[in-house]
Amino acid sequence: MKTFTKILFIPIFVFLSGCGVSHQLRSQQAQHFQPVRIAILRGVGEFTLQVKGPYQVLNFDSKETLGQEKFLKAKKVVPTKDGIQIGEKHYLKDKIKISPQKEASVYINNRRFRGEIDIIKNVNNHLLVVNVIDLENYIKGVLYHEISDRWPLEAIKAQAIAARTYALYSMQNSKSPFYDVRSDIYSQVYGGRTSEKYRTNIAVERTAGLVLVYRDKILPAFYHATCAGHTENVAALWDNNLPPLRGVVCNFCKKSPHYSWKKNMRLKDIQDKLNEKGYAFGRITHMQVLDRNPSGRITTIKITTDDDKQTIVSGKEFRDIVGPNVIRSNNYVIDMKGYYVDFLGRGWGHGVGLCQWGAYFMSREGYSYDEILSFYYPGARIVDCYEKHKRLDL
Ligand SMILES: [Zn+2]
């Protein structure tokens, strides 16, 4: 029995299906939309560049052509005192753009990318390498790193919309003048053309342009692997209180492989990690969960040391310091074992927004991507960002 409402979603999908926009047109719209700039290498001394086909080298600032080449065998790119060296060619600029033509493939350290490549030399004589690409192709390079391409299509489509929305949110909040997102876990992991799979590409094409909004603003569409019973209220982690991110009961991820976990650690190792981050703990003798929030996740932990000092550490900070993939979630019990401790936990990830394994089991039960998204982001609407971009302030 489906227990949640679809009312908010129906009119929008009548509109979208009624407008009969083809996938080709949608990809053309994407190309005219603001591109995503992804930092794929930061602060490197050199990297390997290869272009299998014609390309131009442009002045990053003025866009004037500095060179027109037929192809480039794999060559080292290095910063020089007064410019950037690509193989035997030297460009007297600190910022250049590689613009492939006729869909020539570009390879950075043997990984294939679509779109353009910006190479920027910083004041420390290191290079920043940025892939500039349209939003749809960016999401194609993200999805395989987030979920399996073998999952049911509706779950992949839900993930595509969440990832596209999160990308737009990141673009609106970018702090760097040269890139919007990183290609690692600090944004969404992105592997370029090399990471694209047939079924994840289909999911991107069938949801092209669709994003989640709340009150006409792009939603920070957080997602995570497994919530293990209740998604987290965003206010517990970040300075945000949006109604679609306040947490829901999720009974769909019970069979997730990440539903429960156990981690055994030496107390000495925990002491060392905390002290590396500025604490001054003596030998830890006891740890105790003090408080949990309504989603069941730990808000505070009390740590006792051999000098009988007691320190309160927030659950979020404790997990960040010990390691978010060591302590996989903030929902666990502490079982003291002498010089060791067992953490017996449930779920994987921060728990906010879409529960990926919940989405997987929902799709296997026949739920569609819009139903999955309305369940995990209640009150959010799905809109077409290419149609609505003026209103969404993009
Ligand atoms: Zn869940």
285 pLDDT above the threshold of 60: yes
State the pLDDT at residue 10.
36
Say how many Å lie between the CA of residue 19 and the centre of ligand 1. 34
**Amino acid in position 10:** I
Say how many Å lie between the CA of residue 265 and the centre of ligand 1. 26
Say how many Å lie between the CA of residue 248 and the centre of ligand 1. 9
State the pLDDT at residue 33.
83
19 pLDDT above the threshold of 50: no
| Angstrom distance (rounded) from CA 123 to CA 174 | 21
- Name the least confident of 17-21, 161-165, 283-287: 17-21
pTM of the model: 0.87
pLDDT in tens, 146-194: 999 999 999 999 999 999 999 999 999 988 999 999 998 878 889 998 9
Q: Where are the domains of the chain?
A: 10-28+144-221+351-388, 36-133, 260-346
Say how many Å lie between the CA of residue 288 and the centre of ligand 1. 26
| Angstrom distance (rounded) from CA 247 to CA 268 | 35
267 to 145, 287, 289, 342, 370: CA distances (angstroms): 33, 9, 15, 10, 46
Say how many Å lie between the CA of residue 156 and the centre of ligand 1. 16
